[in-house]
Chains A and B, each alone.
Chain A
Amino acid sequence: MSHLLTDEPGSRILLMGNEAIARGALEAGVNVAAGYPGTPSSEIIETLSKVARDRGLYVEWSANEKVAMEVAAAASFAGLRSLCVMKQNGVNVGSDFLLHLGLTGTRGGMVLVPCDDPGALSSINEGESRQFARLLELPLLEPGDFQELKDMIVWAFQLSEEIRNLVFVRSVTRLSHASGNVVLGPLPGETRKARFKHRGFILDEMEGVVASMPMEYRHRRQQEKLKQAVERFESSPFNTYTGPEHPELVVITSSACHLYSREAIHLLGVEDRVGLLKLGTTFPLPPVFMEKHLGLTDRFLVVEEVIPFLEENVKILAQELAPRIGPKTIMGKRDGRLPTVGELNPDLVVEALASLVEVPYESAPEAYVKRGQELMFFGAPNRELTFCPGCPHRASFWSIHNALELDGRDGFVCGDIGCYTLAVLPTGFSTLKTLHAMGSGTGVASGFGKLGRFGMDQPVVSVCGDSTFFHAAMPALINAIHHGSDITMVVLDNSGTAMTGFQPHPGLDVDALGHKAPAISIEDVCRSLGAQVRVCDPFDLETTQATLLELLDRAGVKVLILRQICGLSPEKKRHKKYEVAVNPEVCLGEACGCNRLCTRIFRCPGLIWDKRAGKARVDEVLGTGCGVFASICAKGAIEKVENREVTG
C-alpha cells in the first residue's frame, strides 16, 4: 500500500511536496483529478493515479491542460470535488476556459494547482501563474511550507464550496520537488454521487444552466464571491506574523521565499529587529489583517518570486490605507533590491536584508571562496545540457541536420517543448532555429511555408514529440494542410511523455489508471488529414536521411514519424540491445582524418575520448547499447554485436 494512504491521523511522515499536495486532495475527499504532465507538477497526478483504485478516484492525463480543466470542471458541475494540475504554461493554455469558468462558478469544490518554475530549472520560461488570479478575479493561495502544501489544499476545497468558485493553489519547483515532514489528517470515508442538475431557474447557480450569461449579472456575482473569499482570508491560519512587537523592518513574503526569508533573518541574527509577515492568501489581500500589520513599522521588504506581484498588491492596499496608517516605504523588486528574473535563495535574501539592517555577512572566509572559484575553474568542467546516452533524439537530429546540409538550400527547423528542445544546443547539432510553446514549431512552420510568394526558398521543417502532437500540434498541422503550406513535419515519437516520466498520452494503449485504452495512431491521423506520411527508425541513420532528403524535395505537407522508444523507458532500461565496442586496432584517433566525428561532433556521453590512448572508448556504465555509434564511424572501428540474452 502506498505510504500516501497511511490512515493514522497525527502521524508524521516525510513527503515530497507534490505528494503532500496529493495527500491534501485525498484528505479533502477529491473524486476526480486531471492534468497534463509538466515539471515540476507531474508527481501530483502520478501519485493520485497510483491510489485511484483504493480511494475510488477517477484520474486522467488529459490531452492538454485546457481539456484537463474542462474534465475537472465537469466533475464539479456534477457535485464532485475535483483537482486540476499543471505546470505554469498550462494555465496559459487553459486560461480561456478559466475566464468563463470564473463567471459560471463551480458546484462541487474545484481546486487548480499550477506549479510555477522560478528560474526555469526545468522549463524554457519562468512565467507566473499568479497573475492569472488577478486577471481572472479568482482567489489565490500560496503554501509556505510542506505542511501547508497539504493543509491548504483541504482548506481550498472548503473555500471553493463556500464561494462556489474555482480556487488557485500555487506551488513552485522548490516546494513541489522538495521534501519535508508532514503531519497527516484523517482520510474521509464517504464518497459522493455524481448528478448534473440543469433544470432549475436559469440564474440558479446549483441547479440552473452553467453559462457565463447574462454577463453583467454573472460578473457581479463573481466579484461578490471574491469578496466572500477575502472575508475568509481575514482569519486564515495561513497568514502569520512572527517577530518583535516593534520591528525596525518587516519582511513580507509568501511561498518558498518564506523559508528563504526566515533563514536569512536567522543567518543575520536579527530576529529581535526584523519581523516576518508570511502570507498564504495572496490574492486578494485581506485588508483588515494587512492594516494591522502594515501598522507595525514604516519599512517593509517584499520577498517573492518572480515578478513584483505581491509587492504591487501590498502597495495598492498601503495607498488605500494611507490616511489611517500613514505613508510606508515598501521595498523589494521595483527598487532593484531583489532581482526580477530568476529564482531567489537564502543568499539573495540575506544580501538584500543585510544592507537594510546594516549587518555584515560572509558566506565563507574570503580566501576560501576565492580558492574555491579557482579550483572550480580547473576541477569542475561545465556540464552542458545533453541528450541522454542512447537517446533517439540525438540520432534524429543527426539525420535532420545532415539532410538539411546535403539539401543545401539553407533549410531550418522550428521546434517547441520537450526533451528535443535541447536540439537548439550542440547536443542536437544546433538544428532548432525557433523555439516557442507546445505545438508552436508546426504553427510557425505553417507560416514560413507560405512565404514562397515573397521569395523565400528555404525548406521548412518542424519537429514535435508524440505527446505534443496530440496536445497542440494537430491544429497547426490542419492549418498547414488546409492552406497548402510547404513543410516537413517530423514527429519524434519516443512512445510516451518521456521528459516528465513516461506518462501515457492518447497515442498509447493504456491510460493513467493502467487500463487498456484505444490508441490513436499518429500516422492514421496525419494520412486522414491529407499529409504524405512516412515512418522510419531514427537509429537507421541511412534510411532516415534518404527519406528526409526525398521529402524535403516535395511540395505540400509531409510528415515523417521517427519512432524509437526513449532510452530511459522502463521497457528499455538496463537492457542493452547490442554490445558495442571500439576496436582499438581500427580506430586511428586523431590520425584518422575523421576529425573525431564520433566524439567531437556526435557527442554522446556514452562514448568517451580516452586521452591517454588517443582513441574513442565506450563507457561501460553509461552506454545503453543502442548501436548507433557503429553507423557513425566511417572507418568501421565501432563494432556492435546483438545481445541474444534478453534480461527483463
Chain B
Amino acid sequence: MKEMKLSFDPYNLIIAGVGGQGNVLASRVVGNMLSRKGFTVTIGETFGGSQRGGSVMSHLRVSSESSFSPQIPKGRAHLVLGLEPAETIRVLAAYGNPDVLALCNLRPIHPVQVISGELDYPDLEDAKGWVKELSRKAWFLNATDTALEMGLPILGNIIMIGAMAALGELPLEREDFERAVSLTMPTDRISINLEAFDRGREMVEAA
C-alpha cells in the first residue's frame, strides 16, 4: 500500500554524522518506516573500524520498484540529513548537486586534529552559509541541545528524524515511527523517543 508517490525513484537519502551519534540506528529506523509503507529500501552503511570519532554515512535508496546499489552514485543525493555540520558539508561536496536538500544539526564534534590545533573547524556561521550554498534549500536545528535538555544526548538522531518527517519529502509518519522503534528499542525507551520525534517535527514546523 503506497500512500504517497516518491518525487524521485529511487529517492536517495544520506544520513551523515560521526561515529557514536546513532547514525546507523537512525538509518534502520527510517528504513523500517519506509519498508512498512511498501517501498523497497536499500541501506548501505559504513561502520566498523572506529566505533567513535570517525565519519559515518548511511545511504538509503527508496524505490517503488527494486533494490539498488548500497552506495549512492556521486552527485545523486536528493536529501542529506547531517547530524553534524562538517559532515554535512563533506557529504554535500561528494554526493550533492544544485537541487539537493539539506537538514543539518548544528552541534559540532571536533576531530582530534582540530583539538590538537593541526586543523581548523569552520566557524558555524560560515558552515551554515556553505551548506546553503551547496543545496537548493537547507534547514538548521540545534537537535543535540534539545536532546541534552531532554537528558539524553543520543536522542539528537531521533529529533532529526522527526524534523525530516516534517519536511514532507518522504512519507515518514508518526505511527510508522512508533512501530519501527518498538522493533529496535527496549520498551522503556519508546515514549522518550516519541517525544524526541515530536520535538524535531515541531522544530521544523516552527522554523
Contacts and interface: CB of A to CB of B under 8 A. Distances in A.
Contact of A373 (B48, B71, B93): B93
Interface stretch (A289-297, A342-350, A474-482): A342-350
B185 interface: no
Given A260-B71, A568-B51, A605 B133 contact: no
B7 interface: no
B192 interface: no
Contacts of B28: 16, 179
Nearest to A566: B51
A153 interface: no
B48 A39 contact: yes
B52 A605 contact: yes
B50 interface: yes
A599 B111 CA distance: 11
Contact of B43 (A13, A180, A604): A180
Contacts of A364: 74-76, 96-98
A256 to B, nearest CB: 7
Contacts of B50: 385-386, 388, 422
Contacts of A121: 46, 48-49
A347 B107 CA distance: 32
B130 A347 contact: no
- Interface SS of chain A: helix, strand, loop or mixed? mixed
Identify the interface centre among A180, A378, A600, A620: most chain B CB within 10 Å of its CB: A180
Q: How large is the interface on B (under 10, 10 to 19, 20 to 34, 35 or more residues)?
A: 35 or more
Contact of A388 (B51, B69, B90, B126): B51
Contact of A175 (B53, B70, B89, B109): B70
B73 A605 contact: no
Interface in B71-99: 71-76, 85-87, 89-90, 92-94, 96-98
Interface in A592-606: 596, 599-601, 603-605
A177 interface: yes
B112 interface: yes
Interface in B96-112: 96-98, 107, 109-112
A380 B89 contact: yes
A123 B117 CA distance: 29
Given A259-B68, A375-B93, A622-B20, A384 B111 contact: yes
A278 interface: no
Contacts of A14: 31-32, 35, 41, 43
Interface string B141-171: 0001000100001000000000000000000
Nearest to B91: A380
Contacts of B68: 259, 263
A608 B53 CA distance: 13
A386 B31 contact: no
A123 B46 CA distance: 12
Contact of A381 (B97, B121, B153): B121
Contact of B122 (A260, A378, A499): A378
Given A39-B49, A181-B41, A380-B86, 6 more contacts: A14-B35, A345-B71, A363-B73, A379-B86, A381-B113, A382-B119
23 contacts: A123-B49, A146-B67, A177-B46, A179-B42, A180-B40, A180-B67, A263-B68, A263-B69, A364-B74, A364-B97, A365-B98, A372-B96, A375-B130, A378-B122, A380-B93, A386-B53, A386-B54, A388-B20, A388-B50, A388-B51, A605-B53, A605-B112, A609-B114
